[in-house]
Every structure is written in C-alpha cells, then in structure tokens.
C-alpha cells in the first residue's frame, strides 16, 4: 500500500480531486454541484486563490482538501476535505489535513479556520481545532466554525 499526498499542480490532478469531491459531497451527501464546485476549483495553473491537495493510494485518488488563501474575513480557510467512503478510518483525512497545515505555514499563516460538518467535529478536535459559535447550515448540512493555531 503506497500513500502519496501532494499539492495539486496539474489539470489532471484537479480532475482527480474533483472526482473524490463529487463522490462524497454530490453523490453521497446530495450537495448541489453548483454549490460544491466553485471558482477556486479550476486548473491550478491559473487559479491563485486556493491550493488543493490530493491523496492517492496505490495511484488511485482517495482523498482531497483545499486551502483558500484568503476567505471573506482575510483568514486562510481549509475546506472541501473529502475521503471516499470505502477508504475512511485509515488516516487519509489526517494526512490531507497535515499537508494542508504545512501549506498554510508556507503561506505565513499562524492560524487557520474551517467550517466542519457536525459529524466531523471530533475528527478536527483530535487535530487540535477548537469549535466556536453556533451551529449553522451550509448546503443544508449542519456545520460549526473551528479554529487552529499553527
């Protein structure tokens, strides 16, 4: 078993990341595609607003996540973290998150924020995140804001 987690740098890698996100968010969680795929999800050669990572297990895409380099409040923001259902509970989400943390540090971040689906709050707490604020709906799914000092 060979796991590789790397920054997405090509259009082909981006399509592999979007394959994972479509399976998890659109097919599994019924998020409308126009809410899931946005202006940050284009060819990485032209998009400068986000950095994506892709985890491949034996060469097959299994997990992904992205780092928005500036959200509406000027923070670095992790989002769209997804692991294929058949590959969960194997440390892939953690590997994606740690890679995103490294990328955030490379961009000079000292803290990071994310909107966690309620079922994933424990996962993010194990990575050191702290929940803040009330539960809110995003794409019809309950979320909480969470923050981490890097």
CATH number at residue 94: 3.40.630.30
Nearest to 111 by CA among 134, 129, 131, 132: 129
Contact between 109 and 2 (Cβ < 8 Å): no
In terms of residues, how long is the chain?
Answer: 150
Domain range holding 84? 3-149
pLDDT at 75: 78
Q: How far apart are CA 49 and CA 33, in angstroms?
A: 20
Q: How far apart are CA 46 and CA 12, in angstroms?
A: 14
Mean pLDDT by 10 residues, the chain (150 residues): 93 97 96 94 93 96 95 81 96 97 92 94 97 93 95
pLDDT at 1: 76
Number of domains in the chain: 1
- The phi, psi pair for 13, rounded to 5°, reads -65, -40
pLDDT at 50: 95
């Amino acid at each position: 078993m060979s796991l590789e987690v790397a920054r997405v740098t090509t259009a082909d890698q981006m399509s592999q990341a979007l394959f994972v996100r479509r399976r998890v968010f659109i097919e599994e969680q019924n998020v409308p595609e126009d809410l899931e795929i946005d202006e940050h999800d284009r060819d990485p050669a032209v998009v400068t607003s986000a950095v994506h990572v892709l985890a491949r297990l034996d060469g097959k895409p299994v997990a992904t996540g992205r780092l928005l380099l500036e959200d509406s409040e000027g923070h670095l923001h992790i989002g769209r973290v997804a692991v294929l259902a058949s590959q969960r509970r194997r440390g892939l989400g953690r590997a994606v998150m740690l890679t995103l943390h490294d990328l955030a540090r490379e961009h000079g971040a000292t803290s990071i924020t994310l909107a966690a689906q309620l079922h994933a709050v424990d996962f993010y707490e194990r990575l050191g995140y702290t929940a803040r604020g009330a539960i809110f709906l995003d794409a019809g799914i309950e979320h909480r804001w969470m923050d981490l000092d890097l």
